[in-house]
Structure 1
Amino acid sequence: MTIAAAPQAAPGAAGESARKRVFVLGATGTIGRATVRALVQRGHAVVCFVRPRAGAGGTRAPDDVPRGLAGAELRVGDVTDPASLARDGFRGERFDAVVSCLASRTGAPADAWAIDHRAHVHALRAAKDAGATHFVLLSAICVQRPRLAFQQAKLAFERELMDSGLTWSIVRPTAFFKSLSGQVERVKRGKPFVVFGDGTLTACKPIADEDLADYLAGCLDDAQRWNHVLPIGGPGEAITPRAQGELLFSLLGRPPRFRRVPVALLDAIVAVLAALGRVLPPLADKAEFARIGRYYATESMLVLDPASGRYDASATPSHGTRTLADHYAALLRGEASVDLGDHAVF
């Protein structure tokens, strides 16, 4: 496996290759919609395979989807069913590439293995049958230190993709703006910003939807991104949760206020739910959600140095132009909104 530094490119720059026919999975998610726009802008012919009930929580009907995917063809079916994928999705037609922004909605073990692994395996086989030669996968940087079911599921498919014989590009973003926006409204309402520990346990280099989409679309054209694992973050220095809070208060013109939550409290919650989950199966998923919360409270979303076991901001590549400060400012001015959906925490 090769982890490559991200070549710098101007966002929105068109590639040198010819127009491609691209099959897209996960097109109705936040990053998926942005990626479809980027592919269409580059002149590719895009076909999106969407679930009958798409979006966060499965709340969007097919008729609601086209507004966010202008210029692309939509096909509806069940991504977990290989027969539907072939019949309703690929339809026996030829495609040059598959771009997948598909991910499990909750991270629960059953959901993760069904979507992050098995659905992708079905898509990989269908892509080969359709003559596709390139598969671009949106993964996650947290798989570097896998301790959760969804990370194991993602890694299992990454390995299958690498061994598939296709050209592949595995993109591992550090953090999305969406995932760092859950406290904007509470802070606007005068509440403190919640941090774990002292707020400096972790750091990330968040990347804007549009910049990540530009990077994903560019994988089709840039040979330097082929057959590589590609960690990618946004511009600027890595930022800790405490710095995120300070930035938000500064934009509001208020003195910063924080509420500290000890990591030991998360450990206790995980332990209790795990014990109860052994006798009450519905609580097993809640225990996994608690583990996910603890993971993100204690692990940085940066490139992991395998030699030292430490996260390295300087080794984490950057792409794009939009910063988290730009995003927060737009949210506070009412010029942007974030649908946290299944990812809402606070």
Structure 2
Amino acid sequence: MSVILVTGGTGTLGRLVVERLRAGGHEVRVLSRHAEPYAVDLREGGPGLDAAVTGVDTVVHCASSPRGGDERAAAHLIAAARRAGVAHLVFISIVGVDRVPYPYYRAKLAVEKQVAESGLGWTVLRATQFHDLLVQAFQVLAKVPVMLLPARVSDQPVAVGKVADRLAELAVGAPAGRVDDVGGPEVRTAESLARAFLKASGRRCAVVNVPLWGAAYRAFRSGGHLAPERAVGKGTFEDYLATRVRR
């Protein structure tokens, strides 16, 4: 069995990837800022990163932050992987990073380019947003009496477990380049998803759709972040809410 390093291995997606790979009999190292023995801040790099990748066959790169630093972190990881002779680098990205001019998406696209030009064997998987990310957003938006939503924007939330399944499968396979996107089973308006959340959580809140402006909003409104032709799984947003959200 291979030795696999999962960056961001304690996060929402990474921990599930770790579980699946270990269940398959692989030796898995977990890298995150606070997970010993491989507690490394990828944005800083350093000797701890070299120790983490030494003897590793495959790296699954799940670590990411909307607050910035992803490109610097990827540069450190790729350099260390080269030095260690890593054979395969798997990167999880987001559907629409090449169509939606949103800053975090642009950073993800830049990392995709770094991975493709790394000189390593590589695989990139893009997925739509996870159910839990929408719940986190709705929890914040519902703190006031009126929930404001971007008008005419839809989403296609996917179960994080489905994405973890696919990443684990890719990690034990050969480098495949850019593979087919993964999206949730339904494309839903932001309003319908928000109302489902309010119903499941027992919250009372008016919902108002607000037209916005800018290139990123236009791209989201036109569905640049969706992949309806790549819908996977059967778990709907209501299914997720039934098990994760309490009144």
Q: TM-score range by the shorter chain?
A: 0.7 to 0.9
| Distance in 2 of aligned mates of 1:78 and 1:39 | 23
Q: Indicate if the aligned counterparts of 1:245 and 1:256 stay in contact, CA closer than 8 A.
A: no
User: Which residue in the other structure is 2:134 paired with?
Assistant: 180
User: Which residue in the other structure is 2:183 paired with?
Assistant: 233
Which amino acid in structure 2 is aligned with residue 48 of structure 1? V
The match for 1:89 among 52, 58, 61 is: 52
| Distance in 1 of aligned mates of 2:217 and 2:210 | 13
| Distance in 1 of aligned mates of 2:236 and 2:110 | 32
| Distance in 1 of aligned mates of 2:203 and 2:46 | 56
User: Which residue in the other structure is 2:207 paired with?
Assistant: 258
User: Which residue in the other structure is 1:247 paired with?
Assistant: 196
TM-score (norm 1): 0.61
RMSD: 3.1
Larger of the two Rg values belongs to structure: 1
Cα displacement (A) at 1:244: 0.7
User: Which residue in the other structure is 2:150 paired with?
Assistant: 196
| Distance in 1 of aligned mates of 2:44 and 2:226 | 40
| Distance in 1 of aligned mates of 2:31 and 2:47 | 10
Cα displacement (A) at 1:222: 4.7
Cα displacement (A) at 1:130: 2.0
User: Which residue in the other structure is 1:167 paired with?
Assistant: 121
Question: In the TM superposition, what whole-angstrom CA distance separates every residue of 1:98-122 from its partner, at most 9, and x where no partner exists?
Answer: 001111242xxxxx3xx31121122
Structural mapping, 1:1-346, within 5 Å: 19-52=1-34, 62=35, 74-90=37-53, 93-106=54-67, 112=68, 115-181=69-135, 182-184=137-139, 191-197=145-151, 201-222=152-173, 226-235=176-185, 237-251=186-200, 257-263=206-212, 295=216, 299=220, 304=224, 313-315=227-229, 317-333=230-246
Cα displacement (A) at 1:160: 2.5
| Distance in 2 of aligned mates of 1:31 and 1:163 | 25
Q: Indicate if the aligned counterparts of 1:202 and 1:298 stay in contact, CA closer than 8 A.
A: no
User: Which residue in the other structure is 1:67 paired with?
Assistant: none
| Secondary structure, counterpart of 1:170 in structure 2 | strand
**Structure 1 unaligned runs (5+)?**
1-18, 53-61, 63-72, 107-111, 268-293, 305-310, 335-346
Cα displacement (A) at 1:318: 2.4
> What percent of counterpart residues are identical?
28
- How many equivalent residue pairs? 246
| Distance in 2 of aligned mates of 1:126 and 1:254 | 48
Cα 1:204–1:196, aligned 2, differ >3 Å: closer, same or farther?
A: closer
Bigger Cα displacement from structure 2, 254-263 vs 321-330: 254-263
| Secondary structure, counterpart of 2:154 in structure 1 | coil
**Structure 2 unaligned runs (5+)?**
none
Q: Indicate if the aligned counterparts of 2:149 and 2:191 stay in contact, CA closer than 8 A.
A: yes
Question: In the TM superposition, what whole-angstrom CA distance separates every residue of 1:37-77 from its partner, at most 9, and x where no partner exists?
Answer: 2222222111112214xxxxxxxxx5xxxxxxxxxx74112
User: Which residue in the other structure is 1:58 paired with?
Assistant: none
TM-score (norm 2): 0.83
Cα displacement (A) at 1:96: 0.9
Cα 1:217–1:263, aligned 2, differ >3 Å: closer, same or farther?
A: same
Which amino acid in structure 2 is aligned with residue 183 of structure 1? F
User: Which residue in the other structure is 1:276 paired with?
Assistant: none
| Secondary structure, counterpart of 1:23 in structure 2 | strand
Cα displacement (A) at 1:154: 2.4
Q: Indicate if the aligned counterparts of 1:204 and 1:301 stay in contact, CA closer than 8 A.
A: no
Which amino acid in structure 2 is aligned with residue 233 of structure 1? G
| Secondary structure, counterpart of 1:168 in structure 2 | strand
Cα 1:333–1:83, aligned 2, differ >3 Å: closer, same or farther?
A: closer
